Amino acid sequence: MGVLTGRTALVTGASRGIGRGIAERLGRDGARVAVHYGRSEAAAKETVAAIEEAGGSAFAIGAELGRPGDAEALWAEFDRHADGLDILVNNAGIGSARPIKEITEEEYDQVFAVNVKAPFFLVQHGIRRLRDGGRIINISSGLARTALMPDNIAYAMTKGALDVFSRDLSKVLGPRGITVNSVAPGIIDTDNTAPMLHGTEGGWARAAAFSALGGVGSPAEVADVVAFLASDAGRWVTGSWVDATGGSLP
């Protein structure tokens, strides 16, 4: 019996990268996992298959975030498969590496719509589905606390907003025994970071140099932190910002 047996989890943006790592870990711990995807149904089904092959239970739900009515659409899909929720991981996000002088108003609005507005309204519409004693875990970024990559300014701003959301929401939902925390990865080896890590000479070494541990993180290492917060062992941690950057902050 896994530590999360009998619980239902929803991980947004779980078809690849950090989200897939989190979904697979929660599945191994016994949770039934809703694998959310925005556009790639095939990739989400691969995540579901991986969870099931490891002995877990999962289902895919599709809803493109950042559009009007996205939260309602996602929960309508979720309700077709489950009648309640114990763990919500707001992982889905997009970023812009364009400097302030180049980013357009449309790009700015979109990154805030996906990274800030969507989690807010997913929680608003999901509160009645979230059982007492549940967990909300928002995936932030080390860039919310450091200016190491200032061209990611709009993205970093969204993660700062998400951290405030975690902090204040923990007070709102605390009376129900629901914990709310932010987990902040650093540079993680995913398809999003592949051009930086693998596509340029010396890219991996430069990224590893940021970390006090001298390495680049993996999705599994972020998932381990999320799994702790999702479990009973994390029951007394709420309103916190958990540094999962491998010691990359100054």
Instruction: Report the C-alpha gap between 90 and 187 in whole angstroms.
Output: 18
Going by C-beta distance under 8 Å and a sequence separation of 6 or more, which residues neighbour residue 110? 66, 94
Q: State the pLDDT confidence band at 233, using cuts at 50, 70 and 90.
A: very high
DSSP 3-45: TTTT-EEEETT-SSHHHHHHHHHHHHTT-EEEEEESS-HHHHH
70 touches 64 (CB < 8 A):
yes
> What pTM value is reported for the model?
0.96
- Using the predicted structure, report yes or no on whether residue 149 has a pLDDT greater than 90: no
Q: What is the per-residue pLDDT for 157?
A: 96
Query: pLDDT for 97-122, tens place per residue?
Result: 688 999 999 999 999 999 999 999 99
Q: What is the per-residue pLDDT for 130?
A: 98
Percent residues over pLDDT 90 in the chain: 85
Secondary structure E strands in the chain: 8-11, 32-37, 57-62, 85-90, 130-139, 179-185, 241-244
Q: State the pLDDT confidence band at 27, using cuts at 50, 70 and 90.
A: very high
Strand order in the sheet with 8-11: 57-62, 32-37, 8-11, 85-90, 130-139, 179-185, 241-244
Q: What is the per-residue pLDDT for 219?
A: 95
Residue 146 is which amino acid? T
- Using the predicted structure, report yes or no on whether residue 250 has a pLDDT greater than 90: no
Q: What is the per-residue pLDDT for 200?
A: 84
145 forms beta bridges with none
Secondary structure E strands in 41-199: 57-62, 85-90, 130-139, 179-185
- Mean pLDDT over residues 72-80, rounded? 97
Query: pLDDT for 165-224, tens place per residue?
Result: 999 999 999 999 999 999 999 989 887 877 787 888 888 888 888 899 999 999 999 999
Average pLDDT, the chain: 95
Instruction: Report the C-alpha gap between 41 and 233 in whole angstroms.
Output: 33
155: closest CA among 166, 169, 141, 168?
141
Tokens standing for residue 233: 């062992």
Q: Which of 75, 155, 165, 210 is catalytic?
A: 155
Sketch out the chain's domains with CATH numbers.
8-189+218-243 (3.40.50.720)
- Using the predicted structure, report yes or no on whether residue 236 has a pLDDT greater than 80: yes
43 touches 37 (CB < 8 A):
yes
Q: What is the per-residue pLDDT for 131?
A: 98
Q: State the pLDDT confidence band at 95, using cuts at 50, 70 and 90.
A: confident
Q: What is the per-residue pLDDT for 192?
A: 82
- Catalytic residue at 155? yes
